[in-house]
Copies of this chain bind each other. A is one copy, B any other.
Amino acid sequence: MRSGSTDLWLTDDQQNVWRAFLAASVVIDDALDAALRPFDLDLGEYEILVKLSEAEDRRLRMSDLADRVRQSRSRLTHTVSRMERKGLINREACPDDRRGVIAVLTRRGFALLEEAAPTHVRSVRDAFVDRVEARDFAALGRAMRAVLEGPGR
């Protein structure tokens, strides 16, 4: 679906970078998931452990947790239920809001995070950080911040 007749379509160069970005995202996700498998964790679960470990008292309202992770709210509810069954998280009623729910990292959840973290970080290095030249890495950071910061040139 590309034609040379208008400025709308991507150039071959732009198309190549765009497709490489999509493909690299999948390769990275797959590598990180594979690294976490021996810990019986996937990337979504790991991300939740990290966010709770960084929160005060290792607890967050579900709505705050939802704002901090990469998954949709419906998937988050699903993931948190699974993690509760594994004993990594408890859900508690919110004292000042009858309909609110708080997710609390358990001691076991924190221990699993500590155990998995070195392997996870190693996989981020192997699949991403250590593959990219330092110069390109800085440019990548600027590019991603430009995407996050809104309307461009």
Least CB distance from A5 to B in Å reads 11
Asked if A153 contacts B139 (CB within 8 A), the reply is no
Q: Which residues of B contact A20 (CB under 8 A)?
A: 141, 144-145, 148
Task: Knowing A26-B70, A132-B152, A152-B130 are in contact, say whether A140-B1 is a contact too (CB < 8 A).
Answer: no
DSSP majority for the A interface? helix
Q: Which residue of B lies closest to A129 (CB)?
A: B14
When the two chains form their complex, are residues A8 and B121 in contact, meaning their CB atoms are under 8 A apart?
A: yes
Interface size on A, residues (CB 8 A): 56
Instruction: Indicate which residue in B24, B122, B144 contacts A17 across the interface (CB closer than 8 Å).
Output: B144
A17-B114 in contact (CB<8A): no
Report the copy number of this chain in the oligomer: 2
**A131 near B146: Cβ-Cβ < 8 Å:** yes
Give residues of chain A (11-68) contacting chain B, Cβ–Cβ below 8 Å. 13-14, 16-18, 20-28, 50, 53
The answer to whether B148 touches A143, judged by C-beta atoms less than 8 angstroms apart, is no
Do A23 and B121 touch across chains, with their CB atoms under 8 A apart? Answer: no
A136 sits at the interface (CB 8 A): yes
Q: Mark A111-145, 1 if CB is under 8 A from B, else 0.
A: 00110011001101111111111011111111111
Q: Shortest beta-carbon distance, A77 to chain B, in Å?
A: 18
Q: Which residues of B contact A93 (CB under 8 A)?
A: none
Assembled-state Cα–Cα distance A150/B21 (Å): 15
Give 27 A-B contacts (CB < 8 Å), ordered by A residue.
Answer: A1-B53, A1-B114, A1-B121, A8-B118, A9-B121, A10-B121, A10-B124, A10-B129, A14-B129, A17-B138, A17-B141, A17-B144, A18-B128, A18-B129, A20-B145, A21-B144, A22-B70, A24-B144, A24-B147, A24-B148, A127-B147, A131-B147, A131-B151, A132-B142, A133-B146, A136-B139, A139-B143
